[in-house]
Amino acid sequence: MDDAEARGVLRRRVAELRRTPYSELCSRWLDQPDCERIPAPSGVEYQVEIEAVWADQPNGPLLLIASIDDGHFWRALSPITDSFVMAPDGAITSDAGT
């Protein structure tokens, strides 16, 4: 897996998620992780898993976690991750980065 390429793919996807309304993040990913397959410019198809959980208490800040790997067993055990916390008003209150 090309780590630089994978980080770029993940960074772009997380940037999209940061622009997504809080209510949509909750309805789409809260306690229901999902995987997406995203092709990179090199032609490699990466697997991005997205999950949201309450950061503190229900209906409060939401922690969104995204991870990326190339689907190979060893890399799936140690994916590259990125995360952020969004308040109910849509403000990003914490940005963990990659």
pLDDT in tens, the chain (98 residues): 688 999 999 999 999 999 999 999 999 999 899 999 999 989 999 999 999 999 989 999 999 999 999 876 677 677 899 999 999 999 998 776 54
Q: Looking at the whole model, is its pTM more than 0.85?
A: yes
Contacting residues for 35 by C-beta, under 8 A, at least 6 apart: 47, 48, 49, 50
**What's the domain range around 18?**
3-95
Q: How far is CA 18 from CA 1, 21, 25, 44, 78, in A?
A: 25, 8, 9, 24, 23
Q: Are 35 and 49 in contact (CB under 8 A)?
A: yes
CA atoms within 13 A on the CB side of 90: 6
What spatial distance separates the first Cα and last Cα of the chain, rounded to whole Å? 16
Q: How many folded domains does the chain comprise?
A: 1
